């Protein structure tokens, strides 16, 4: 089955788990990869990879000494990701709220970036806040959280934990998508910084 058809069928079955009716465009993939500084990263976590458009773009941009931990809650999408043949990829079926425990399970340390396509607008505020806090807690100092979203909900969820982020719009995607980025402070400050 074609990936776009499969993606749309999963959207119809689980509309609250999936942020869009079609996969990301190559323009959105490039913007996310560039914003996450994939080319200089050693370890990245991806939350909600869907059928793997961003996953493949990350792997193409990354070096050989790199690990990508992809966490997907939908078993059908997880099966799709497991079919990507790349020794740098770890495909994990699980819940983003357990991010810290999942990273510990694989002994991977602090990620340089967390990329998220999960739709924060369709989950409860407490669930969204828990995921944001988990992301902030696991990020390496100077690490980036990059979320691509239709809704601005992630911005309000991140503000108390990560402060103000940088918000961009990718118009060359259907529908146009927000790409938001926060960077964890290198110092002892509790909040992230722009860019």
Q: How far apart are CA 43 and CA 62, in angstroms?
A: 9
pLDDT for position 12? 44
60: Cβ–Cβ under 8 A, 6 or more apart, which residues? none
If residue 192 lies in a helix (H) or strand (E), which one and from where to where?
Answer: strand 192-194
Taking a C-beta distance cutoff of 8 angstroms, is the pair 58, 44 a contact?
yes
Which residues pair with residue 119 across a beta bridge? none
- Would you mind telling me the total number of residues written for the chain in this entry? 195
pTM to 2 decimal places: 0.86
Strand-pairing partners, residue 70, are: 46, 91
CATH of the domain at 13: 3.40.50.150
Rounded to 5°, angle at Cα 26 from 25 and 31: 100
The pLDDT value recorded for residue 187 is 62
* Backbone φ and ψ of 182, nearest 5°: -125, 145
| pLDDT for position 191 | 59
What's the sign of the alpha-carbon dihedral 97, 57, 91, 141?
Answer: negative
Asked if residue 48 lies in contact with residue 80, where contact means CB atoms within 8 angstroms, the answer is no
Structural domain boundaries enclosing 146: 3-194
Longest pairwise C-alpha distance within the chain: 50
Question: Which pLDDT score, from 0 to 100, does residue 101 have?
Answer: 97
Helices and strands in the chain: count of H runs, count of E runs: 7, 8
pLDDT at 121 (0 to 100): 87
The pLDDT score that the predictor gives to residue 18 is 42
150-180 b/e with 16+ CB inside 10 Å = b? eeebbbebbeebbbebeeeebeebeeebbbb
Residue 23 pLDDT: 64
| Residues 52, 70: Cα–Cα separation, whole Å | 9
pLDDT tens string, the chain, 195 residues long: the values are 445 554 444 444 544 444 444 567 899 999 999 999 999 999 999 999 988 999 999 999 999 999 999 999 999 889 989 999 999 999 999 999 999 999 999 999 999 999 999 989 889 999 999 999 999 999 999 999 999 998 899 999 999 999 999 999 999 988 888 999 999 987 655 556 656
| Cβ-based neighbours of 90, under 8 Å, separated by 6 or more | 67, 68, 69, 70, 106
Q: How many domains does the chain have?
A: 1
**pLDDT at residue 192, rounded to an integer:** 63
pLDDT at 174: 82
What pLDDT does residue 186 have?
77
Q: What is the pLDDT of residue 194?
A: 58
Which residues are CB-contacts of 17 (< 8 A; sequence separation ≥ 6)? 73, 74, 118, 119, 122
């Amino acid at each position: 089955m074609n990936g776009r058809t499969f993606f749309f069928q999963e959207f119809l079955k689980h509309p609250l788990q999936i942020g869009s009716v079609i996969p990301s465009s190559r323009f959105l993939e490039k913007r996310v990869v560039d914003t996450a500084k994939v080319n200089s990263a050693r370890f990245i976590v991806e939350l909600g990879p869907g059928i793997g458009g961003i996953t493949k773009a990350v792997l193409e941009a990354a070096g050989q000494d790199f690990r990508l931990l992809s966490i997907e809650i939908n078993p059908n999408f997880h099966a799709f990701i497991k079919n990507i043949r790349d020794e740098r990829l770890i495909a994990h079926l699980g819940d983003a709220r357990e991010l810290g425990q999942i990273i510990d399970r694989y002994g991977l340390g602090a990620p340089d970036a967390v990329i998220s396509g999960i739709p924060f607008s369709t989950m409860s505020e407490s669930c969204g806040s828990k995921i944001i806090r988990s992301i902030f807690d696991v990020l390496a100092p100077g690490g980036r959280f990059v979320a691509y979203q239709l809704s601005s909900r992630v911005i309000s969820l991140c503000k108390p934990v990560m402060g103000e982020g940088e918000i961009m719009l990718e118009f060359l995607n259907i529908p146009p998508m927000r790409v938001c980025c926060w960077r964890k402070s290198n110092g002892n400050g509790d909040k992230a910084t722009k860019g």
